[in-house]
Chains A and B, each alone.
Chain A
Amino acid sequence: MSTNDDYNPRDWAIHPPYLDPSYKSTVLRSPRQKLIPLAQTVTETTGPQYDARHIGSLGPDLTKSARKNGEPLGERIVVEGRVLDENGRPVPNTLIEIWQANASGRYVHEVDQHDAPIDPNFLGSGRCVTDAEGRYSYITIKPGAYPWQNHHNAWRPAHIHYSLFGPSFATRLVTQMYFPGDPLLAYDPIYNTIPDPEARKRLICDFSMELTKPEWALGYTFDVVLRGRGATPMEN
């Protein structure tokens, strides 16, 4: 196998370290031994490939998938963006799974005990798939901030979780998208574990007037960049 098939390594100037005591749970959940370098093989350069056939009952309109007696409460938003690799090439036909709190900052999850209302018309999870140009979009409600017990008066900024596969097991990415102008970002240990301040900003979506739908929803754009392959193989 030629090295041109290898994906670029994770860029540790960009990704958070496993251990950052400001996010307390990392203290007992971070490996302490050095990662052992693994020269990529077919195991790592292939990976699960899920597409539109696997969207099922959790589709790209999160305002519809759990309706019981009306629209979910909150500010309706449209999020659109592209999934690209480091070379700027689109990542087509890849599944994105998303989940979030409701407009009040409450997760449906049984473990969430935050004293804020559950919305009977909102579950908060969905799936979409990128098209041939790597483009995706979904409709949801802007999530609220919520308290967590990491430290005194700890509040997570509003965010939407993203889970992506990309073309291989090596390109898998789980991340969070934040919103512009959120005053909680400066205080959030999780966001600030990212070593490079410029890289942090890339997790903040952009408001888009162009994408905003009159009388209906605000628009935001958010691109995701997955690991690419370093050298371009020579064409025969």
Chain B
Amino acid sequence: MTLKQTPSQTIGPYFRYALTPESYGHLGIVNGNLLVPGIKGEKIRIAGRVFDGASKPMSDALVEIWQADAEGAYPPSAEPGKFSGFGRVETDKQGEFRFETVKPGAVPGRGNAWQAPHIAIILSARGMLGHVFTRLYFADETDANTQDPVLNTVPAERRKTLVATRGADGIYRFDIHVQGDEETVFFEV
């Protein structure tokens, strides 16, 4: 290695007019709706809230997701009008974020392993000097989750922080606790 990494700095409180600029009259590169016409797979909605260590909602966080399509493939590039696999939203005053997408398929893991359907998440916010990586798994994928090589590295009692549960309204709920008794599992990626 010849060069050293550029240090991270906080995203700060004022990213909206650049990264989620719809309310400033500009289109973002993406938003929370990953659906495109003719998309294959099960359409799903995901919603959750982001909380700090005092269990207060974080109303100025950026939530970004990266996922495979229903067949388990990651788009090699963002093609206008096609499924991009990437979504990005700011949290609202209640700390809530929402995505509309398709349920990802299983994707290959390392070696011969397969990974349960999952969505990778990056969370950034004021007060966070760098982003954190987490993953969303689906509660209704019981068998696949049991065999997932990443979930299995997580202490059993903390795995539930990575699993979205489907409510009566059909929405997958996935709250993120940055700190506290229910702290979400974050990964060193």
Contacts and interface: CB of A to CB of B under 8 A. Distances in A.
Q: Do A and B come from one complex?
A: yes
B80 A43 contact: no
A184 interface: no
A161 B5 CA distance: 17
B153 A36 contact: yes
A144 to B, nearest CB: 14
A157 to B, nearest CB: 11
Give the size range of B's interface with the partner.
Answer: 35 or more
Interface in B71-129: 74-78, 80, 84-86, 107-111, 115, 118, 120, 122, 124-129
Give the size range of A's interface with the partner.
Answer: 35 or more
Given A36-B154, A48-B85, A57-B26, A14 B120 contact: no
30 contacts: A14-B7, A15-B7, A15-B130, A16-B8, A17-B129, A20-B129, A26-B129, A29-B53, A30-B128, A31-B178, A35-B132, A35-B187, A36-B185, A37-B153, A38-B133, A38-B153, A41-B109, A42-B107, A48-B66, A48-B85, A86-B2, A109-B16, A109-B17, A123-B24, A174-B9, A194-B7, A199-B4, A202-B4, A226-B6, A230-B1
Interface of B: 1-19, 21, 24, 26-27, 29-30, 52-54, 56, 58, 60, 64, 66, 68, 74-78, 80, 84-86, 107-111, 115, 118, 120, 122, 124-133, 135, 149-150, 153-154, 158, 178-179, 183-189
